[in-house]
């Protein structure tokens, strides 16, 4: 068997990045925009024969040159990426793969969480990871005829988010509120979680949860093996909803509330598919019209834009008091700096 050299492919090494792009393209994959570590296996002539990457606690963009398949190279790539993840403290690992590759990863110790037939499989490296997560959620289940869920990023928490929770609270016996816990937003999770709880503390039938790694964000869902943009959105939505159905069953949930999305095309498509999928399985999907500031729908994107441009006073009328107090405190200075340094704060 031939010997290969394993090397890190750094973003600054344009030659190796071009080789990685060429190999991925040859194998029908487009390099994902969200990568934080990449490696390659090179032969004696410095030809790239296999590659793989990480983003946070996920493995992605793995490919072997078709001329070298059957040599166990993907196994080497995955083993190295897992060792690298463990070395940086990530022990709970996830990957997304095509359906016809799921068995291979199962043989390497990954277990299926959910799938969209013919499109994508979501897997993790713990046999009882998701089932254990569901068992923990069951401990928070409460009795009632109407049990609802709201999932929100709250980047940051606005009067629009508050209105959505108030409506869900008034119309249900209990509401499970999941805050996206991945730190891929401009406002960190610990701040978002704190502001959601502070801004809805007057509602006494809410139960708060971090989403963990199972409710999937746009940032971590891979698009590299789905070429059509609408197909990416649809597959993301269906996979996320297939995971959510299991969460709903664990909590006895029969309703999910979402805000109407007049600004984001991605979220608009997502909401449409969510309503179709959930209604079909007996979970009512309630799409709530956005609260307005008197003229326009309240938007977290517009709040971030005002913060970026130094117009903090303008957010006072569209966020709860706790959110405004945070952003006018010294604690907020690092968050404000992050927002001001961001190239883009409006999400479409």
Which tens digits make up the pLDDT trace of 313-329? 999 999 999 999 999 99
pLDDT in the model for residue 219: 44
- Give residues with Cβ within 8 angstroms of 39, minimum separation 6: 6, 7, 8, 9, 51, 52, 53, 77, 80, 81, 84
Walk across the sheet containing 284-288 and list its strands. Answer: 206-210, 174-179, 147-152, 255-259, 284-288
Q: Where are the domains of the chain?
A: 5-91, 96-127, 134-341
134-341 is classed CATH 3.40.50.620: yes
Q: Evaluate if residue 119 carries a pLDDT over 50.
A: yes
Q: pLDDT for 229-263, tens place per residue? A: 677 777 778 888 899 999 999 999 999 999 887 66
Fold category of 5-91 in CATH:
Aminopeptidase (3.40.630)
pTM above 0.85, yes or no: yes
Distance CA 50, CA 69 (A): 9
- Strand-pairing partners, residue 94, are 58, 124
Lowest mean pLDDT among 181-185, 245-249, 273-277: 181-185
- Give residues with Cβ within 8 angstroms of 222, minimum separation 6: 32, 34, 58, 60, 61, 96
Alpha-carbon 163 to chain mean position: 24
């Amino acid at each position: 068997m031939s010997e290969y050299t394993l090397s890190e492919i750094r973003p600054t090494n344009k030659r190796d990045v071009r080789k990685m792009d060429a190999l991925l393209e040859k194998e029908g994959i487009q390099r994902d925009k969200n990568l934080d570590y990449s490696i390659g296996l090179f032969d004696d002539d410095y030809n790239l024969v296999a590659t793989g990457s990480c983003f946070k606690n996920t493995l992605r963009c793995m490919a072997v040159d078709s001329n070298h398949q059957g040599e166990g190279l993907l196994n080497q790539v995955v083993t190295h990426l897992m060792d690298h993840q463990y070395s940086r403290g990530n022990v709970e690992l996830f990957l997304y793969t095509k359906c016809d590759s799921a068995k291979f990863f199962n043989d390497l110790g990954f277990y299926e969480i959910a799938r969209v037939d013919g499109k994508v499989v979501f897997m993790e490296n713990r046999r009882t990871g998701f089932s254990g997560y569901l068992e923990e959620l069951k401990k928070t289940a409460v009795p009632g005829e109407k049990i609802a869920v709201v999932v929100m990023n709250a980047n940051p928490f606005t009067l629009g988010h508050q209105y959505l929770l108030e409506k869900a609270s008034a119309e249900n016996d209990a509401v499970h509120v999941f805050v996206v816990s991945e730190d891929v937003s401009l406002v960190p999770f610990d701040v978002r979680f704190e502001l959601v709880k502070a801004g809805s503390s007057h509602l006494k039938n809410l139960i708060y949860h971090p989403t963990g790694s199972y409710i999937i964000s746009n940032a971590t869902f891979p698009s590299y093996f789905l070429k059509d943009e609408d197909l990416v959105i649809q597959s993301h939505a269906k996979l996320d909803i297939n995971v959510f159905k299991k969460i709903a069953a664990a909590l006895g949930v029969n309703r999910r509330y979402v805000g109407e999305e007049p600004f984001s095309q991605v979220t608009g498509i997502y909401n449409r598919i969510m309503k179709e999928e959930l209604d079909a399985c007996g979970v009512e999907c309630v799409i709530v019209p956005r609260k307005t500031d008197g003229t326009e729908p309240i938007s977290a994107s517009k709040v971030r834009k005002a913060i970026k441009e130094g117009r903090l006073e303008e957010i006072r009328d569209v966020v709860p008091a706790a959110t405004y107090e945070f952003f006018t405190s010294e604690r907020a200075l690092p968050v404000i700096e992050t927002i001001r340094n961001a190239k883009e704060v409006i999400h479409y």
